[in-house]
Structure 1
Amino acid sequence: MVQSYFADMHIHIGRDIYNKPVKITASKTLTITNILIEASRNKGIHMVGVIDCQSPGVQAELKQLIEAGQAVELEDGGIRFEKVTLLLGSEIEVYDENCKGPIHVLCYLPTLAQMEEFSRWLVTKMKNISLSSQRYYGTAKELQYKVKELNGIFIPAHVFTPYKSLYGKGVLKSLEEVLDPDLIDGIELGLSSDTQMADQIEELHQYTFVTNSDAHSLAKIAREYQEITMEEPSFKEFYWALHGVKGRHIRRNFGMNPKLGKYHTTVCDHCLEELSPDANTCSKCGSAKVVKGVADRIKELANVKYGKETRPPYIYQVPLEYIPKLGPKTFEKLLEEFQTEMNIIHHVPYKQLSEVVPNKIAESILQLRKGELTINAGGGGKYGTISSS
């Protein structure tokens, strides 16, 4: 019988089993074990995609968990740890002669053995297999073919981000300039866009949209996620959900209001002055470093005014950490009383919240649930903010 599960499919590793860095910019506490514990016990997420599993040190830690009986590989793909299923992923930075700039893609594989085989192949295509998001020397289509040869899932990552993304720098107009459209399983929107914005590009109508955190710390896990209708959290069920097989599907996307993203508006990279999309220099400080915002880039690419009718609802979700005056101690009180963030965000009634935290914070959590919090837009690498009412 199908049920609803929460999934965040883009989480980074900070350190491997040998305490060596994997994602340089990620927190040192982001080990594979800590991610699984945080997702299962505190976040209430049922499935996570960890996208640095090509690293041998990460694979070694997973083997240790399995050998200790703390985790088990599933017949339908994925690794179960307590209440969460891990899908083994790899984020790769593609430099293709057909690309106008680098693009990031997400590759997921069913088993640890297949991920190890993928790693052995990647060693011939990149300089440091142990580090996250490394430069891949080959064509994007060749990468797609390898992923499919290993029965994997291929998803372009944060496709509108100004840096290192498909539409941000990778192509002028169409994904067909670089990728085989038939070998794409879904599209990751990124923090500065939503379904309505992305659906202005007609070639994206054929793909399922996913919303993920791109977490670089434990706290950021599940700042964006999706609710998926599946029989159980597994690789096969996730693949079926992406393609609408046997009733499996993405039920709802939960993402931050695009204005909260770091790259929503066009700004000066030097002083963060908001600029017009066609500006070449900053009107305030004179800098020529202008970062085109996601909203303006989508306007350039837009070729339809209507979206795909069958899209799941996109719910504006603000992480609890964004709520003004909700500090670490108050957050711990909420978790102690209500177990998981998913429970607090989605289910706990106002009366019960107000018995644990001040009324104003309880009211903010309800506003968060309804997408009614006031947003100040972000840009140029600076996140947007929530206003105190």
Structure 2
Amino acid sequence: MNAFDADFHIHVGRALGKPVKIAAGASLTLDNLLHHAAYVKGLDVVTVIDGVCDNVLVEVERLVSDGLLTPVAGGGLLFEDRLLVLLGAEVELSGPLGGAAHFGCWFPDVERAKDFNQWLKTVQKNTQLSSQRAYTDATALAAQTHERDGLFIVHHAFTPFKGMLGNCVRRVGDFLDIHEVDALELGLSSDSAMADRLSELSELTFVTNSDAHGVNNIAREYNRVRMQDLNFTEVASALHRKAGRGIEANFGLHPQQGKYYRTRCRVCDELVAENEACRCATDKHHVYGVKDRLDDISDLVEPSHPSHRPPYIHHVPLRDIPGVGPSAYRKLLEAYGTELAIARTADESTLVDVVGDRVGCVIARALRGEFTWEAGGAGTYGKIIF
């Protein structure tokens, strides 16, 4: 078996010069996404989660025609002989009791992605844009995905906006049959220790993905996947833990860095404890934090990790480390090649040689986890405190 690094949730900002993911940066084109993922981040697998959108599909077919994307036996597309590319869709559904949730649908080839796009046109108003509301239910969406040999993923499960367990229901079974789910994405403000306080999730594979809206955020969370080869069939086997395949490790942000970790007031910016008021003396502007939500809905006091659960490795993205400005970042990439290579191989002595004593020591401390957090919430990311 081989180990591959995968980020299964990356958006596209624009395609054919037109918006795709409204909240994503204009520089996050398909070409930039693929180049940055392969040559700057050092990933082996990506899911272009807007790959089923109309204009992105046109660009995908252009890259296939130009020979830059090559269909792979077993499914998927290979970018410049080094990066496996899966095509996906992020679809929004109304919750059964209110709210809305996002789901990921991944497909093994262009033909089935295009066929799914045609079905989406029957339940969505605008298939040029990402993350649009589909006027169907989760059972039908999962069925349409699986009919095309795709994979059906719960996206950012616990977030207060568009997270199934954070925004809609207290149990997966209140939204759909849990056996229809191929994997559950934890999201930036949670980790395995938090999620494994929900006993119903014990059989599910957890994935950690960037949900990147800009090239710099690609691989801020990623997965180390144990597979034989780079193709869609191997990815599916890894999610289902078949024949020795599986997720070997989840790499993710410290939950405190996530922008929805704690309940916070959007007006006075105060963190809010349960049953307490902020300075505004109202809960009208409070955004429910992931930690507080899980404290509410969990049926276990302590996490119970199933035997198949891999380690969750907390890390800090390189650009988020204090002192790593454009010059230091450039020197680091020149020395190590990619961001993931830095995380895997850098030690303090070599870091100091590359960027000097002060910045090198700070990066080394960050890689060792020697810091605390000012917790994030209500859309504001947490801050590192040394």
* TM-score category (smaller protein): over 0.9
- Equivalent position to 1:163, from 156, 161, 164: 161
Question: What is the letter of the counterpart of residue 43 of structure 2?
Answer: I
> Which residue matches 1:87?
86
Shift of 1:185: 0.7
Shift of 1:366: 2.5
Q: Residues of 2 paired with 1:13 and 1:306: CA distance? A: 35
Q: Residues of 2 paired with 1:230 and 1:9: CA distance? A: 15
Give the unaligned 5+ runs of structure 2. Answer: none
| Percentage of matched positions with identical amino acids | 40
Is 1:10 the counterpart of 2:9 in the alignment?
Answer: yes
Q: TM-score, normalised by structure 2?
A: 0.96
Question: What is the letter of the counterpart of residue 83 of structure 2?
Answer: V
Q: Residues of 1 paired with 2:214 and 2:8: CA distance? A: 14
Is 1:57 the counterpart of 2:87 in the alignment?
Answer: no
Is 1:209 the counterpart of 2:198 in the alignment?
Answer: no
- Equivalent position to 1:282, from 274, 278, 281: 278
- Equivalent position to 2:368, from 347, 367, 370: 370
Question: What is the letter of the counterpart of residue 268 of structure 1?
Answer: C
SS of structure 1 residue aligned to 2:238: helix
Shift of 1:291: 1.1
Q: Residues of 1 paired with 2:188 and 2:371: CA distance? A: 17
CA contact (8 A) 1:99 1:177 kept: no
- 1:159-201 Cα distance to aligned partner (Å, 9 max, x none): 0001111111111x21111112111011100010000000000
- 1:230-257 Cα distance to aligned partner (Å, 9 max, x none): 1122211111111111111111111110
CA contact (8 A) 2:351 2:364 kept: no
Shift of 1:71: 1.3
SS of structure 2 residue aligned to 1:272: coil
SS of structure 2 residue aligned to 1:251: strand
SS of structure 2 residue aligned to 1:5: strand
> Which residue matches 1:241?
238
Shift of 1:309: 3.5
- Equivalent position to 1:314, from 309, 312, 315: 312
CA contact (8 A) 1:323 1:361 kept: no
- 1:71-112 Cα distance to aligned partner (Å, 9 max, x none): 10111111110211111111111115x242100111101011
Q: Residues of 1 paired with 2:183 and 2:97: CA distance? A: 20
SS of structure 2 residue aligned to 1:88: strand
Q: Residues of 2 paired with 1:221 and 1:233: CA distance? A: 19
SS of structure 2 residue aligned to 1:57: helix
Question: What is the letter of the counterpart of residue 121 of structure 2?
Answer: V
SS of structure 2 residue aligned to 1:355: helix
CA contact (8 A) 1:162 1:294 kept: yes
Counting matched residue pairs gives: 383
Alignment of 1:31-46 (within 5 A): 31-46=29-44
Shift of 1:285: 5.6
SS of structure 1 residue aligned to 2:354: coil
- 1:33-69 Cα distance to aligned partner (Å, 9 max, x none): 1111001111100001111111111011111111111
> Which residue matches 2:174?
177
Alignment of 1:132-281 (within 5 A): 132-171=130-169, 173-279=170-276
> Which residue matches 2:298?
302
Q: TM-score, normalised by structure 1?
A: 0.96
